A and B are shown apart, each in its own frame.
Chain A
Amino acid sequence: MNQPLMKARGVKVYYPIVSGVLRHVVGHIKALDGVDFDLSSGEVLGIVGETGSGKTTLGRAVLRLIEPTEGTIDFDGRNLLKMDKEELKHFRKEAQIVFQDPFASLNPRKTIRESIGEGLLYHGLVKTRAEQTERVAHVLEQVGLPADAMLRYPHQFSGGQQQRICIGRAVVLNPRLIVCDEAASALDVSVQAQILNLLQELKQKLGLSYLFISHDLSLVRYLCDRVVVLHLGKMVETATVEELFRNPQDPYTKKLISSIPISHPNQRRKYATMDMDNGQATMDEQP
């Protein structure tokens, strides 16, 4: 196999806990504690775990939106953490992110044309306004929106359409990696299916790789090739999707898998109170 697109080794993100007037460090919150993964070109890597497991921190750390405390991240064979300003600017074009809440991630005072087209001008991919308009129209078509959408503002679109715009903003720069941070989680089922189909289609058409962050294993099973399971900042399991669902190793993974909603009432498990009492005491107590 050739060289992976992104290679992460021992990524750690610690936040200091400070105390006293002198603000001396008394300890660390280990948001991420040693995560390794390889992401090949054209692959979808799922990151799963519940709230507080460090999924989002990982997604941001690999884009250097958060500086990792330790570890190395290579992107296309170059060390991401040692890049200078010029290289980093190039990396920003190559790697994009789509967030959970599309409305919060679009500027309400910019038209769609401005939101999608801004990066094109910044990275010098287009020189004139006419070229920019043309590219934006092309991208809107790719994500299944009419070209005249570019003159409108975010609030004029439904949630699913806004998410399409965010995806359009990410793909317009021809990136190689897109981090999808719960990109389909806040949507209704049928809209969610539309967005998942779009992601799948764009991946094939444009040869993208995704880092797909989600707490919903059914989405992960559908979209991803390999999965990393995070629990309290630690990597508990990594496997291909088929393997993970056929033969989960870690008890935490098993629990995540068992909480996927069933598809027929015949599959209801026998209700047991015992089961629940054990489960929840450890779950709800935040460290």
Chain B
Amino acid sequence: MADPILRVRDLTTRLQIGNQSVAVVDGLSFDLHAGKTLALVGESGCGKTLAALSLMRILPQPPALPSTGEVLYKNRNLLTVSEKEMRAIRGARIAMIFQDPSSSLNPVYTIGNQLLEIAELHLGLTGDEAVEHAMQALADVHIVSPRTRFFDYPHQLSGGMRQRVMIAMALMCEPDILIADEPTTALDVTTQSQILDLIKSMQKSKGTAVLLITHNMGIVAETADEVVVMYAAQAVEYDTVYNLFDHMSHPYTQGLFAAMPSNHRTKEPLYSIKGSVPSPMMFPKGCRFHPRCPYAMEKCRSGAVPDFTVNKDEHHHVKCWLYDGSEESAQKRSVKLI
């Protein structure tokens, strides 16, 4: 496989809370390839968004402390380049779209105005050229009659259209990497599939690498090439999408999948992972998932869990003692969750 466009190694971000610091992103590693989609999955509070914000270096400091680890983009470590260099990369080379399009657009400027800002700032275009470019960007995201929409304010657009404008903005500079943070969570199911299709087609025509953050396993199945499952600041499972759906290994991944009502054909109670994600101040000792895990064993309760591989597949990493190859875990595993 070709060299990844973004190589993340051991990314760790700590927050300073009172006089202690807690890791909200803990040793995250993954590769992002051009034209591919990597999905970051987990419930709210797992650190997915914080990981993305750390990549972009837009977390407010304090409370955040400078991230450690490596984020290699074109042989440069984005965590150590100067703020000036980072400003040239952010938005232009690595763009981001957020969950709530209405709060990421400025309500007192027309969308045209906001698009022009990017054309002028990042592309150095002026006058008619900039306007032309901005209108083209709107047309690219399939907005009907871009020439009139150009002069609309954000409140005049529907939620789906606003998200299209956000995508237009993000892709105007033809970035290498697009970070999409729950781009469809605030939208209807029908609009959701359109926005996902749009991201896919833009990715196809421009070869953008997409880092997709979501909590919906359905969206992962639909769009991702590779998947990182995050729980309590750590990556607990990492594999290609087909493999992952064939051999879901971590009990958390299995739980997330089993909880989806669309995977049920009967009126039996849905499977749900008991409890909720702990706050970073109160991560349990040992495996962070063990208090909620149906398979929890004695060794899960203390000490860090190493990464294991599943079925001797080098690409399939899982942070779970069930895969250490011992007798006890093999027995445990044979009991099916659903």
Task: Determine the distance from Cα of A196 to Cα of B218 in the docked complex, in whole angstroms.
Answer: 18
B residues in contact with A281, CB < 8 Å: 142, 144
Q: Given contacts A188-B215, A265-B245, is CB(A222)–CB(B270) below 8 Å?
A: yes
Q: How many residues of A contact B (CB 8 A)?
A: 49
Nearest chain A residue, comparing its CB with the CB of B193? A259
Q: How many A-B pairs with Cβ below 8 Å?
A: 137
Minimum CB–CB distance from A270 to chain B (whole Å) comes to 12
Instruction: Verify B194–A283 contact, CB threshold 8 A.
Output: yes
**Contact for B270 among A158, A196, A256, A271, CB less than 8 A:** A196
Give Cα distance in the complex from A260 to B217, angstroms: 12
Decide yes or no: A256 and B273 within 8 Å by CB, A196-B261, A222-B267, A262-B222 being known contacts: no
Mark A260-287 against chain B: 1 for CB-CB distance below 8 A, else 0.
1111111110010101110111011110
Cβ-neighbour of B221 out of A51, A159, A221, A261 (below 8 A): A261
Residues of the B chain whose Cβ atoms lie less than 8 Å from the Cβ of A200 = 267, 269
A15 to chain B, nearest CB (A): 19
Q: Are A276 and B198 in contact (CB under 8 A)?
A: yes
A218 to B218 Cα, complex, angstroms: 11
Knowing A189-B215, A261-B221, A277-B142, say if A51 contacts B189 (CB, 8 Å).
Answer: no
Given A276-B197, A284-B158: A261 touches B43 (CB 8 Å cut-off): no
Residue from the set B159, B200, B276 with the largest chain A CB neighbour count within 10 Å: B276
B241 at the interface (CB under 8 A from A): yes
In the complex, chain A residues 233-277 whose Cβ is within 8 Å of any chain B Cβ:
255-256, 258-268, 271, 273, 275-277
Provide the bound-state CA to CA distance between A260 and B238, in Å: 25
Mark B188-231 against chain A: 1 for CB-CB distance below 8 A, else 0. 11111110011011001000000000011111011010000000
CB contacts (< 8 Å) of B219 on chain A: these are: 261
* A268 and B161 alpha carbons, distance in the complex (Å): 25
Chain A residue nearest to B43 (CB atoms) is A188
Residue B89 lies at the interface, judged by CB distance under 8 Å to chain A: no
Q: Does A192 contact B (CB under 8 A)?
A: yes
Is A83 positioned at the interface, with any CB of B under 8 Å from its CB? Answer: no
What residues on B are CB-neighbors of A219 within 8 Å? Answer: 261
Main secondary structure of the interface of B (DSSP, over half): helix
B 233-268 to A, binary, CB cutoff 8 A, 1 in contact else 0 = 000000001100100000000011101111110010
CB-contacts of B117-160 with A (<8 A): 142-144, 158-160
Which residues of A are found within 8 Å of B215, using beta-carbon distances? 188-189
Distance A284 CA – B263 CA, assembled complex (angstroms): 29
In the bound complex, CA of A219 to CA of B160 (Å): 22
B42 CB, nearest partner CB in chain A, Å? 9
List residues of chain A with CB within 8 A of the CB of B159.
51
- Residue from the list B160, B245, B256 in contact with A190, Cβ < 8 A: B256
Report the minimal beta-carbon distance from B296 to chain A, rounded to whole angstroms.
Answer: 17
Contact A260 B194 (CB under 8 A): no
B193 x A271 contact (CB < 8 A): no
- B197 to chain A: which residues have CB within 8 Å? 271, 275-276
Q: How far is the CA of A152 from the CA of B173 in the complex (A)?
A: 50
Partner of B271, one of A51, A193, A279: A193
Q: Are B189 and A256 in contact (CB under 8 A)?
A: yes
Judge if A160 is at the interface, Cβ distance under 8 Å.
yes
> Given A284-B161, A285-B144 in contact, is the A263-B272 Cβ separation under 8 Å?
no
Q: Quick one: closest A residue to B41, CB to CB?
A: A189
Whether a CB of chain B sits under 8 angstroms from the CB of A216 is yes
The 10 closest A-B pairs by CB, nearest first: A261-B218, A218-B262, A193-B272, A222-B261, A193-B259, A193-B270, A190-B273, A50-B188, A259-B193, A194-B272
Supply 20 further A-B pairs (C-beta < 8 A) apart from A263-B260, A271-B204: A50-B189, A50-B190, A158-B276, A189-B217, A189-B260, A190-B273, A191-B276, A193-B259, A215-B188, A260-B218, A261-B218, A266-B242, A266-B245, A268-B221, A276-B142, A276-B197, A276-B201, A280-B142, A280-B194, A284-B143
A residues sitting closer than 8 Å to B (CB atoms) are: 50-51, 158-160, 188-194, 196-197, 200-201, 215-219, 221-223, 255-256, 258-268, 271, 273, 275-277, 279-281, 283-286
